[in-house]
A and B are shown apart, each in its own frame.
Chain A
Amino acid sequence: MSALLSGIGYERWVLDVLMILPLVGALGVALGPQLWPAVAVKKIALGVALAEFVVSMGLWWAFDPTIASMQFEVQHDWIPEWGVTYHLGIDGISLFMVLLTTFTMPLAVLSSWNYITEREGPFYSLLLVLTTGMLGVFVALDMFLFYVLWEVMLIPMYFLIGAWGGARRMYAAIKFFVYTFLGSLLMLVAILVMYYVVGRETGVYTFSYAHLVENAQYVGPWAFWLFAAFALAFAIKVPMFPFHTWLPDAHVEAPTPASVLLAGILLKMGTYGFLRFALPFFPEVALHPAVVAIVVPLAVVGIIYGALVAMVQPDFKKLIAYSSVSHLGFVMLGIWALTLQSVQGAIVIMINHGISTGALFFMAGMMYERRHTREISAFGGIARVVPAFATILTLVALSSIGLPGTNGFVGEFLVLIGSFGEYPIATAFATTGVIFAALYLLVALQKILFGKLHPDNEKMPDLSVRELFVLSPLVVCIVWIGVYPAPILHRIETSAQALVTQVRSQVSGQTQVSVPTQLPVVGNVEEGGGSGEGGGVPAATETTVSSLLPPPSSLVSPAGGSD
């Protein structure tokens, strides 16, 4: 298979094609009604999404799991004056994010088949533009390109929520947009600062990811603030507690396919950003005890908090949204533990969450289409009338619970076992998440499927063939990843190991870095009289913060003026 692929030069054009195809498709969808009035736009969109998926499937075989560095690289000049290039590449970390995206897209299109009835053209156009944005974020190797694509995926999502959403769609859309945009602007500033500082020190002004990673140590005293900017952007996207409140609103109001993409793909951008950018750029800040003392507890709080709040939600979509907060907490814990198992596990959870939560949202959408309500209490006892739906919902819920034999277990287990060596207490608390996950999903399951059948639900139709087509690939993945995840782990392993080694070596290798000793320590808040209003965020004392800031002279020449 891989010989065949290299025979057609697959590795040279695949990423270009993946990036451009959806844009062409979006154009086709936009112009379709004029050019080919007989063909429904949704069919064009489905065709494009399927083609995208077929093209991307080649990555599975063509990917060389023994190489840690980037593969399938393509690079073209874009704005040479500024050192901006169109540079794409894939490694073991991004491979599955790309596959997850291309895998989800056809299902998302298929799930909108009857759900979206008005303004189909713009809807599918936006969906396809969103695809390019999402893929681009995962494969971009140029910070400028990354930022642009990050925004590119933001705008279609804003419109998808705002134009096709539920009753409070404008509130949700604006909240989503402002939240994300706030973070991404900070990230832009951080990228620019890195660009200038690194450019000044090395003499090469470029946005190239490889160059910046290699020379990231030059940011010196800026590291903490740059890390904070990146981390905030990604933490909002993840979303980490306490930046999560946009998620329930956005999820609830978004139309089904947008919810699926939001949960399945967009949230992964945050965790992917941590893995790809925040940690490799600023390892000694990220793994500094004080930062760890903030991030890891927040991750654990997210796990438990999300689960507890999910438990009492009357709205099924909101329940799933809070469960996402809980799941992504595991990912954050795994990333910060930074062992091979935990990072692999984190990536597997990212995949799993895309599949399981995606499936849950699909099913929430199907419930909504049937009853026009998302209230859990409106259902009950429907297992009798919709056995196929009930079976799949149970399976998906169990996968979300993390039952061994389903995909959910593999990721959670690897994360927890990998993290336990680093943070035993935090991991022990995180493990209680398995109890709460069972709690909220089984409670919901019981209220929806079991008990007395409400007369309103007696005529409820079971899954249609189209819906089965949407759900069955997800079900197959749930079982497949649950029982035989080795091929996936195999493909992730080398890159994850390289990442862990690289970050860890920089932390131990650089002893002269002054930042860690000056960072605020959670324990001695009272030292500076900082009566911060608390809530987990350590109130940094006046003196420690100012010592974190670059000295005035270094504002002009941050690296100490060696030039």
Chain B
Amino acid sequence: MPSTVSLIWLVVLLPFLGFLANGWLSFFRPDAKRLVSGIGVGVLVASFLVTLIVVSGLAGAAEGAPYIQTLWSWMPSGELQIGLSLQVDQLSAVMLLVVTGVGALIHVFSIGYMRDDDSYPRYFAFLNLFVFFMLLLVLGANFPVLFIGWEGVGLCSYLLIGYWYSEEANASAGKKAFIMNRIGDFGLLIAMFMIYRSTGSLNFVEVFASAPSAFVINGPTITLITLFLFLGCVGKSAQIPLYTWLPDAMAGPTPVSALIHAATMVTAGVYLIARTNVLYAMAPFSGAVVALTGAATALFAATIALKQWDIKKVLAYSTISQLGYMFMAVGMGAYAAGVFHLVTHAFFKALLFLGSGSVIYGLHHAYHQTHNEDDAQDMRNMGGLSRMMPWTTGVMWIATAAIAGAPFLSGFFSKDQILAVAFARGQDATVFYVIWALGAVAALLTAFYMTRLMLYTFHGLNRTGAEELQHLREAPWIMTAPLVVLAVGAFFGGLINLPHVLPGAGGLEHWLEPATEASAQYLAEVHLSAGLEWGLMGLATVIAAAGVFGAWRLLDSDSLVPASEAPEETGIQKILLRKYYVDELYDTYIVRPTAWLSQRVLWRIVDDGVIDGAAVNGLAKVTQFLGWVGTRFQTGNLGTYVILFVVGALWLLSATLR
């Protein structure tokens, strides 16, 4: 390995220093916004540059083995030796570039978006901390270090969702996210324990090396391990059934949604499965479960996104849906395709969120000027914004085209590859045709709801109100510049991994080969004739076009009225709007019964009633009663005492008689 790769510790350290500095400033110099943004963005840019050096060093390396740097021994205990170790390989390099690159852009955007916030340093401190943990997640050389990052990003997500904590709802949303993540973490922990029990190690390299001998293919152990790992992913990446936190997480600042809840953290589950590809390859059943869950989530979330009015909620469900695609891919063993979609999604979804952030920012300012209390995120209050926000509209259309699958944009290639793999796998097992079909329908819906979002927001009649219209402006350059950069990425991102039928194909796939080759032996070769591949691409284009055209024809944005005047929804529309009532179901059947059990049964009955009341105080009562019986002899009358005394003396005397 070239020595430049050993700089990897610096990549992790820089955001942490940023966190410390900004955290310090938030207490002692809360008004030093220039300094804060300088530090906050500076460390990220520096981290990105170091990442470039590291990755170029890695690219130049001859051997394929991952580079491992042990900073210090973390938890040494007998044969369990856990070091605080970083691992650089091709997979983590991709993640590194996404995290630091997209992260830096979002940091820049935040300077503008959060300009007027009261606790600006705190925001950047949290954001830096998030990047630190995210880097630790993707760089961890063993499961526990990955877990630090895994939980750490969850923590930052919690802190940033509840960033405006004065609103009860925001704090609740953060809490919900953390707890749902914790349910997933439970699975991850159990998986770790099982892995340690089977292989005697938790270091990636050792676990993967010993996996072929430690596990039986499709055996119960490996299946359980991978399913528990997947539970972790489900929590973190918001898949069915633990997805409900992500829409609520939109309570956080929009750049946070872009960074954490679209581009990086939520994709950690995909990363984890890609990282443990050997294990999943050995457990085809789990792989199918993953793929099916992904496909189901992709479709399910897409249907909900059809009917949401909150612009960020649409994007949130879209994110869940797109994550479903990624899980489809990694579940089927198409790790490169999954990571590819992860990368392209990071670009276009970050762009969509930041674009929506730009809209919300503009609207918010307009409302601020006119003291309007309306919801600045409801699409019914927007409309026709393209005139005021040409840049935002432009880049948003690029992102929409990318996500909808417009030919030759990034999303087109990445989504197509996933569906192609599913179709190809369908030749082995019919279930993959089902998955393909689900994915294809979800793709149609994606194109539809994204077009709907664009139409309602930027086109048609304006519904903001005349006075607000005077104050609507395009966002400052510090916000639009990152949008443009991301738009370039969203447009050309597909080039890194073109399909086989095109020249210069499979760049990312080749790059990732060292990280995924160990699993290749367990996976069936995916065969797809060139004609079929072209055909699928054509079909994807048709689907996308149908979605966009359908939205264009079916939706009548001119008939919309502002949110405050909108009539109550009915029927299937209401069900979709209320997200199939899943939150209510969870509340009725899980949250409330648990609370009731704890409060009424465990605390009041078991603790206060049985243990304390019956057992402990009961014993005390018995003692008290015996004592009371004793006091009955204490009349205070000497005569009684004398009689008792004589009786006692008699008894003692009689004891001496033989």
**Which A positions have Cβ atoms within 8 angstroms of B?**
175, 178-179, 242, 244-246, 305, 308-309, 311-313, 340-341, 344-345, 381, 383-384, 387-388, 398, 403-405, 409-410, 413-414, 416-418, 420-421, 424, 427-428, 431-432, 434-435, 438-439, 442-443, 446, 449-453, 483-486, 489-490, 493, 497, 535
Given known contacts A308-B598, A404-B151, A443 and B175 CB-to-CB distance under 8 angstroms: yes
The interface bits of chain B over 176-220 (1 if a CB of A lies within 8 angstroms of the residue's CB, else 0) are 001100110110011011101100000000000000000000000
Bound Cα distance A383, B159 (Å): 12
* Known A341-B78, A434-B186; 20 more pairs at CB < 8 Å: A178-B620, A242-B615, A308-B597, A313-B603, A345-B77, A381-B166, A383-B165, A414-B75, A414-B77, A420-B196, A420-B197, A427-B193, A431-B193, A432-B186, A434-B182, A446-B162, A484-B72, A486-B74, A493-B77, A493-B78
Q: Nearest chain-B residue to A383 (Cβ)?
A: B165
Given known contacts A312-B595, A452-B166, A417 and B615 CB-to-CB distance under 8 angstroms: no
**Which B positions have Cβ atoms within 8 angstroms of A?**
26-27, 72-78, 80, 84, 144, 147-148, 150-152, 155, 158, 162, 165-168, 170-172, 175, 178-179, 182-183, 185-186, 189-190, 192-194, 196-197, 594-595, 597-599, 602-603, 606-607, 610-612, 615-616, 620
Q: Nearest chain-A residue to B154 (Cβ)?
A: A403
Given known contacts A245-B612, A420-B197, A486 and B73 CB-to-CB distance under 8 angstroms: yes
The reply to whether B76 and A245 contact each other, CB–CB distance below 8 Å, is: no
Most buried by A among B78, B170, B192, B194: B78
Q: Nearest chain-A residue to B604 (Cβ)?
A: A312
Bound Cα distance A409, B155 (Å): 14
Bound Cα distance A137, B27 (Å): 43
Contacts of B603 in A (CB 8 A): 309, 312-313
Bound Cα distance A555, B599 (Å): 48
Bound Cα distance A403, B158 (Å): 13
Contacts of B80 in A (CB 8 A): 341, 414, 417-418
Q: Nearest chain-A residue to B171 (Cβ)?
A: A450
Q: Nearest chain-B residue to A344 (Cβ)?
A: B77
Contacts of B598 in A (CB 8 A): 308-309, 311-312
The reply to whether B189 and A431 contact each other, CB–CB distance below 8 Å, is: yes
Contacts of A434 in B (CB 8 A): 182, 185-186, 189
The reply to whether A451 and B182 contact each other, CB–CB distance below 8 Å, is: no
Contacts of B175 in A (CB 8 A): 442-443, 446
Contacts of A484 in B (CB 8 A): 72, 74
Q: Nearest chain-A residue to B603 (Cβ)?
A: A309
Q: Helix, strand, loop or mixed for chain A's interface?
A: helix
Among A421, A450, A451, A489, the residue within 8 A (CB) of B75 is A489
Among A344, A388, A450, the residue within 8 A (CB) of B165 is A450
Most buried by A among B26, B182, B186, B190: B182
Contacts of B196 in A (CB 8 A): 417, 420
The reply to whether A449 and B165 contact each other, CB–CB distance below 8 Å, is: yes
Given known contacts A414-B75, A438-B178, A452-B166, A431 and B190 CB-to-CB distance under 8 angstroms: yes
Given known contacts A175-B616, A308-B602, A309-B603, A341 and B595 CB-to-CB distance under 8 angstroms: no
Bound Cα distance A410, B147 (Å): 12
A–B pairs, 5, beta carbons within 8 Å? A341-B78, A404-B144, A417-B196, A443-B175, A446-B172
Bound Cα distance A67, B166 (Å): 55
Contacts of B193 in A (CB 8 A): 416-417, 420, 424, 427, 431
Bound Cα distance A237, B596 (Å): 29
The reply to whether A486 and B76 contact each other, CB–CB distance below 8 Å, is: yes
The reply to whether B186 and A417 contact each other, CB–CB distance below 8 Å, is: no
The reply to whether B602 and A305 contact each other, CB–CB distance below 8 Å, is: yes
Among A340, A398, A420, the residue within 8 A (CB) of B194 is A420
The reply to whether A340 and B189 contact each other, CB–CB distance below 8 Å, is: no
Least Cβ distance of B311 to chain A in Å? 25
Bound Cα distance A405, B145 (Å): 9
The reply to whether A450 and B162 contact each other, CB–CB distance below 8 Å, is: yes
Least Cβ distance of B26 to chain A in Å? 8
The reply to whether A421 and B165 contact each other, CB–CB distance below 8 Å, is: no
Among B26, B148, B171, the residue within 8 A (CB) of A451 is B171
